[in-house]
């Protein structure tokens, strides 16, 4: 049986989130939900899929550029094979056909070994039957962030005014060093530490 893959336009494929919503071309998606798996280890998943929005079979591949990889492994399993990368750089997957209306999991994850960031730009390319690119598809930037949940953010933008500053004993203070509890005019409370 022979499948004919017609030339497609740039809207043939779309990135789709876990809720089934289309992700706009050029979007940046920030991810920080660490999943723990006894078999796979700890990872942060993109949760994205790729959908062929046309009614006909079309061929696609992924071009991805890992711009930041503080540690660990970046992995993508799309459209067919899994590829793991341990360093920054630009890479391309093999191409494969997707049926009209088909949605395929991107299976894109970062497996961190310590706190840090992994950033990658993913771009779909529409191919013909001879594996020649016929059109650029959408692009999405993924920012995986694995941060220590106990970190105190010292670079807080205090847009609401500071109502009161307290020491650890709950006494009002005017010191600008050490650990302080800051109450803002909007009712929020922050812990700040300055050396």
Q: By C-alpha distance, which of 71, 47, 54, 44 is closest to 12?
A: 54
What number of other Cβ atoms are within 10 A of residue 3's Cβ?
Answer: 10
Q: By C-alpha distance, which of 65, 82, 89, 84 is closest to 74?
A: 84
pLDDT at 54 over 70: yes
User: Is residue 179 within 8 Å of residue 193, measured between CB atoms?
Assistant: yes
Cross-strand pairs, 84: 75
One CATH from 2.60.40.1090, 3.40.50.2000, 3.40.309.10, 1.10.40.30 for 13-146: 2.60.40.1090
pLDDT, mean over the chain? 85
pLDDT tens string 133-168: 999 999 999 999 999 877 655 544 445 666 777 777
In the chain, where the domains are located:
13-146, 162-194
- pTM for the complete prediction? 0.72
What number of other Cβ atoms are within 10 A of residue 33's Cβ?
Answer: 11
Instruction: Indicate the range of 30-39, 46-55, 56-65 predicted with least confidence.
Output: 30-39
pLDDT tens string 10-32: 688 999 999 999 999 999 999 99
Residue 61: the pLDDT is 95
């Amino acid at each position: 049986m022979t499948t004919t893959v017609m030339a497609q336009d740039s809207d043939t494929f779309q990135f789709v989130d876990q809720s089934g919503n289309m992700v706009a071309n050029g979007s940046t998606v920030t991810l920080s939900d660490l999943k723990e798996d006894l078999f796979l280890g700890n990872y942060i998943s993109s949760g994205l899929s790729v959908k062929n929005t046309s009614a006909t079979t079309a061929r696609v591949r992924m071009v991805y550029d890992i711009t930041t990889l503080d540690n660990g492994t970046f992995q993508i399993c799309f459209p067919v094979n899994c590829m793991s990368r341990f360093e920054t750089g630009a890479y391309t997957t093999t191409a494969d056909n997707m049926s009209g209306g088909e949605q395929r999991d991107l299976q894109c994850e970062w497996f961190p070994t310590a706190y840090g960031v992994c950033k990658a730009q993913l771009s779909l390319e529409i191919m013909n039957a001879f594996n020649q690119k016929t059109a650029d598809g959408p692009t999405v930037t993924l920012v995986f962030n694995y941060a220590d949940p106990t970190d105190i953010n010292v670079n807080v933008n205090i847009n609401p005014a500071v109502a009161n500053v307290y020491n650890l004993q709950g006494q009002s203070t005017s010191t600008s060093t050490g650990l302080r509890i800051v109450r803002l005019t909007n009712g929020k409370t922050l812990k700040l530490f300055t050396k």
